[in-house]
């Protein structure tokens, strides 16, 4: 055989990683090139994969995580070693916390040198560091194991409770060569990566018995329910039982927020008053006051409110995490909901009329109050008058994806802007994390092709703001709206010493974020009235051009930490 013929029959580590991903239907990589993965990004693009390069790995990681949530396929984030890896790790950890499937693939330095701590370029024992922060972590040392490594990473990310997986690929692996035919045979196309988990019949019966006996039932829909993509069955469950439901933030739109059974506008009342609560893909964590205390009608902060809980979740360990779960229903949401529907049949008795009437009365009162507030047009513009515009824009464009972060900008948007379709609201999730904004926006536009509207507090935007260059570079239909009130929460704090430094929560007054977008060729608009904001948002949706609107908000508007002020520790000692 000639030397040429021999080299044609060889493959290498770079190629096998690309082939293994493509074989499993993964066609997009979010990442940031550098040693040792620069050639991997080039070759992936040359092989027809979409490679989206970011300015900071955390944003690439957040993009991968939300792509995983939207598609049920693990989102891939590719980084360089040590610092790049660490930058991506925050996103990996956030993905795991939120139950989003993603794989962080990081190049790493030479094992021999790292393990003897001899001071390699970007030396770090990345596998050990990643392990406690993700669902699973693997390392591949030999080219012939790349197929298995990718297969294990995919299964770990999407099966059972989804989460983040770390895959460590040392630099030497990429250049390793092996026989091309043997390489091809070593790859694995994962069959049934997220197997259905059928609930036990007795568990279904137990749940139905409890639901049947309820006099004030409530269903809570979480982002696990949105992730499951069992939209029609979930809607049928709500409508056939006639039970009021409460969507968690990212479950908004699973049924349209305008649905008559939505109890979102009377949250406090239904949580405190319900006697049986069915959780569908929602955890009883801090966002639900741990299922007890005053929110749930208890006397003090740890007191059980007396509710009985049914919990549908894929993770058996989730049960009893905070309070007793009387009817655990363990399985995938699609299978659990369809089993419940079979048991419910077509003549399920609706909840007692006095419960439905009480919920409706309070809800309508709150909706009317909100409508009154939204109708006002104060000068300067405030959160409500600006969000009244966003509310109309989403109503007219229900396909658009809404990304949302901040404190007040988050909380007001959640309660004011109705969502009409599943998985269209992407926000700070389980951690209340700041910095997801631009990463989520890029991925949402890339994955869906739909327009994206990012409603950002001016502080929140700062965490990922440089990615407006990425948005312009890929010409994505993203409209970023910054609610600019000159600071974190508000722009009015002062330095009590009278010294030259401004208060820790205050930014440059009158900052022109719109000019940042213009610097990269996007459209930047400065809006000080709802009419200007409306015009700019409508134009952004129409043109699909990268747009950033600097929406100037009253700097006195907003409260400390929005709706979660109480989480700020208050010392008994007088200041
Ligand atoms: C809701 N409501 C409405 C409507 N929707 N009224 C009228 N019309 C409509 N459409 C009512 C609802 O009944 C509540 O009133 C109130 O508005 C607020 O609703 P909601 O759903 O927002 O409820 P609440 O109490 O804020 O929910 C608690 C929560 C939520 C913890 C789930 O606050 C949340 O998701 N927070 C996340 C915050 C976060 O992560 N922040 C991060 C950054 S801050 P009542 O009368 O019924 O109660 C940060 O980093 O540090 O500060 C920092
Ligand atoms: P939220 O913040 O909206 O309340 P959480 O993230 O707390 O939602 O809860 C989501 C829950 O959904 C997790 O406990 C997770 O195990 C569960 N989950 C995710 N996907 C599925 C699925 N396909 N089937 C069943 N449960 C799921």
Q: What is the tally of helices (H) and strands (E) in the chain?
A: 23, 19
Mutate to test the pocket of ligand 1, among 564, 565, 567, 569 (most ligand atoms within 8 A of CB): 564
Check residue 423 and report its DSSP letter. T
Assign 501 to helix, strand or coil.
Answer: coil
Residue 381 CA, ligand 1 centroid: distance in Å = 21
Check residue 255 and report its DSSP letter. S
Residue with CA nearest ligand 2 atom 6: 98
| Residues in a beta bridge with 10 | 179
Residue 279 region, left (φ>0) first, then alpha (ψ -120 to 50), else beta?
Answer: beta
What is the pLDDT, as a whole number, of residue 2?
43
How many Å apart are CA 67 and CA 74, to the nearest integer? 8
Residue with CA nearest ligand 2 atom 4: 282
CA dihedral 64, 70, 72, 76 (to 10 degrees): -10
Residue 282 CA, ligand 1 centroid: distance in Å = 16
Q: Are 109 and 122 in contact (CB under 8 A)?
A: yes
- Percent of all residues in the chain with a pLDDT value above 90, rounded to a whole number: 96
Nearest bound ligand to CA 286?
A: 1
pLDDT at 548 over 90: yes
What is the pLDDT, as a whole number, of residue 431?
98
Ligand 2 atom closest to 331 (CA):
25
Least confident range from 259-263, 335-339, 392-396, 561-565: namely: 561-565
Residue 388 Cβ < 6 Å to ligand 1: no
Structure confidence by residue, pLDDT tens digits, 471-481: 999 999 999 99
What is the pLDDT, as a whole number, of residue 346?
86
- What is the band of 500 on the pLDDT scale with cuts at 50, 70, 90? very high
Residue 234 CA, ligand 2 centroid: distance in Å = 14
Backbone dihedral angles phi then psi of residue 473, each to the nearest 5 degrees: -60, -40
Tokens 């692996």, located at residue:
173
How many Å apart are CA 159 and CA 318, to the nearest integer? 16
User: Per-residue b/e over 403-436, b at no fewer than 16 CB within 10 Å?
Assistant: bbbbbbbbbbbbbbbbbbbbbbbbbbbbebbbbb
How far from 529 is each of 507, 553, 571, CA to CA, in Å? Answer: 21, 9, 40
**Which residues, other chains included, contact 490 with Cβ-Cβ below 8 Å and sequence gap of 6+?**
505, 555, 556, 557, 558, 559
Ligand 2 atom closest to 332 (CA):
24
pLDDT mean over 104-130: 96
* Ranges of H-type helices in 191-294: 201-213, 223-227, 231-241, 267-273
What is the pLDDT, as a whole number, of residue 316?
98
Ligand 2 atom closest to 313 (CA):
26
pLDDT at 574 over 70: no
Query: Please, is 401 exposed, middle or buried when counting C-beta atoms within 10 Å of its C-beta (0-12, 13-18, 19+)?
Result: buried
How many Å apart are CA 559 and CA 557, to the nearest integer? 7
Residue with CA nearest ligand 1 atom 32: 287
Residue 411 Cβ < 6 Å to ligand 1: yes
How many Å apart are CA 434 and CA 430, to the nearest integer? 11
What is the pLDDT, as a whole number, of residue 301?
84
Assign 508 to helix, strand or coil.
Answer: coil
Ligand 1 atom closest to 567 (CA):
52
How many Å apart are CA 221 and CA 283, to the nearest integer? 10
Residue with CA nearest ligand 1 atom 51: 561
pLDDT mean over 161-180: 98
Residue 161 Cβ < 6 Å to ligand 2: yes
Structure confidence by residue, pLDDT tens digits, 17-66: 999 999 999 999 999 999 999 999 999 999 999 999 999 999 999 999 99
Mutate to test the pocket of ligand 2, among 97, 222, 335 (most ligand atoms within 8 A of CB): 222
- Looking at every residue in the chain, the average pLDDT score rounds to 97
How many Å apart are CA 407 and CA 400, to the nearest integer? 22
Q: Are 79 and 171 in contact (CB under 8 A)?
A: no
pLDDT at 494 over 70: yes
Residue with CA nearest ligand 1 atom 43: 407
- What is the band of 8 on the pLDDT scale with cuts at 50, 70, 90? low
0.95 surpassed by pTM: yes
Within 10 A of 86 (CB to CB), how many other CB atoms are there? 17
Residue 227 Cβ < 6 Å to ligand 2: yes
What is the pLDDT, as a whole number, of residue 575?
62
Residue with CA nearest ligand 1 atom 48: 268
Within 10 A of 545 (CB to CB), how many other CB atoms are there? 18
pLDDT mean over 439-456: 99
pLDDT at 135 over 60: yes
What is the pLDDT, as a whole number, of residue 573?
82
Residue 250 Cβ < 6 Å to ligand 2: yes
How many Å apart are CA 55 and CA 157, to the nearest integer? 25
pLDDT at 383 over 60: yes
Residue with CA nearest ligand 1 atom 40: 432
Residue 382 CA, ligand 2 centroid: distance in Å = 34
Residue 519 CA, ligand 2 centroid: distance in Å = 41
What is the pLDDT, as a whole number, of residue 347?
87
Residue 104 Cβ < 6 Å to ligand 1: no
How many Å apart are CA 24 and CA 17, to the nearest integer? 11
Q: Are 366 and 265 in contact (CB under 8 A)?
A: yes
**Which residues, other chains included, contact 6 with Cβ-Cβ below 8 Å and sequence gap of 6+?**
none
Q: What are 226's two structure tokens?
A: 């949105």
């Amino acid at each position: 055989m000639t030397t040429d013929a021999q080299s044609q029959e060889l493959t290498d580590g770079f190629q096998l990683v690309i082939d293994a991903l493509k074989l499993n239907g993964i066609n997009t990589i979010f990442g940031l090139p550098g040693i040792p993965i620069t050639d991997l990004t080039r070759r992936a693009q040359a092989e027809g994969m979409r490679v989206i390069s970011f300015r900071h790995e955390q944003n690439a990681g957040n993009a991968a995580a939300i792509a995983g949530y939207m598609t049920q396929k693990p989102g891939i984030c590719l980084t360089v070693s040590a610092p790049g890896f660490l930058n991506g790790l925050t996103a990996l950890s956030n993905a795991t916390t939120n139950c989003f499937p993603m794989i962080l693939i990081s190049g790493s330095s030479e094992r021999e040198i790292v393990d003897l701590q001899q001071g390699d370029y970007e030396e770090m024992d990345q596998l050990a560091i990643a392990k406690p922060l993700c669902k699973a972590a693997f390392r591949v040392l030999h080219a012939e194991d790349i197929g298995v490594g990718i297969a294990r990473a995919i299964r770990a990310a999407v099966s059972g409770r989804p989460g983040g997986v770390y895959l460590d690929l040392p630099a030497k692996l990429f250049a390793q060569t092996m026989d091309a035919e043997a390489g091809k045979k070593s790859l694995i196309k994962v069959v049934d990566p997220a197997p259905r988990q059928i609930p036990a019949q007795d568990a279904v019966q137990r749940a139905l018995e409890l639901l049947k006996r309820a006099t004030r039932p409530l269903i809570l829909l979480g982002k696990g329910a949105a992730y499951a993509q069992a939209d029609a069955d979930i809607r049928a469950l709500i409508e056939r039982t006639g039970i009021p439901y409460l969507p968690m933030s990212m479950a908004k739109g699973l049924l349209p927020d305008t649905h008559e059974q939505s109890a979102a506008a009377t949250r406090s009342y239904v949580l405190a008053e319900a006697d049986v609560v069915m959780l569908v893909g929602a955890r009883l964590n801090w966002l639900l006051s741990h299922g007890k205390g005053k929110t749930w009608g208890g006397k003090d902060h740890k007191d059980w409110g007396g509710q009985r809980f049914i919990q549908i979740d894929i993770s058996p360990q989730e049960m009893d995490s905070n309070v007793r779960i009387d009817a655990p229903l363990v399985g995938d949401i699609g299978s659990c909901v369809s089993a419940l529907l079979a048991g419910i049949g077509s003549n399920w008795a609706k909840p007692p009329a006095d419960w439905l009437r009480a919920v409706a009365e309070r809800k309508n009162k709150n909706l009317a109050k909100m409508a009154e507030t939204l109708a006002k047009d104060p000068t300067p513009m405030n959160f409500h008058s600006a969000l009244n515009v966003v509310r109309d824009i989403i109503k007219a464009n229900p396909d658009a994806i809404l990304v949302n972060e901040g404190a007040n900008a988050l909380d007001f948007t959640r309660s004011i802007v109705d969502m009409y379709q599943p998985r269209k609201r992407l926000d700070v999730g389980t951690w209340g994390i700041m910095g997801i904004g631009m990463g989520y926006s890029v991925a949402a536009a890339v994955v869906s092709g739909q327009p994206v509207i990012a409603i950002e507090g001016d502080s929140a935007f700062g965490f990922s703001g440089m990615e407006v260059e990425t948005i312009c570079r890929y010409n994505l239909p993203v409209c970023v709206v910054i609610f600019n009130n000159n600071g974190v929460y508000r722009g009015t704090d002062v330095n009590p010493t009278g010294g030259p430094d401004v208060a820790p929560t205050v930014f440059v007054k009158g900052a022109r974020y719109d000019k940042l977008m213009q610097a990269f060729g996007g459209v930047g608009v400065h809006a000080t009235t709802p009419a200007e904001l409306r015009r700019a948002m409508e134009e952004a949706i129409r043109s699909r051009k990268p747009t950033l609107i600097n929406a100037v908000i009253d700097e006195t508007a907003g409260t400390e930490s929005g709706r979660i002020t109480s989480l700020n520790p208050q010392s008994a000692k007088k200041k």
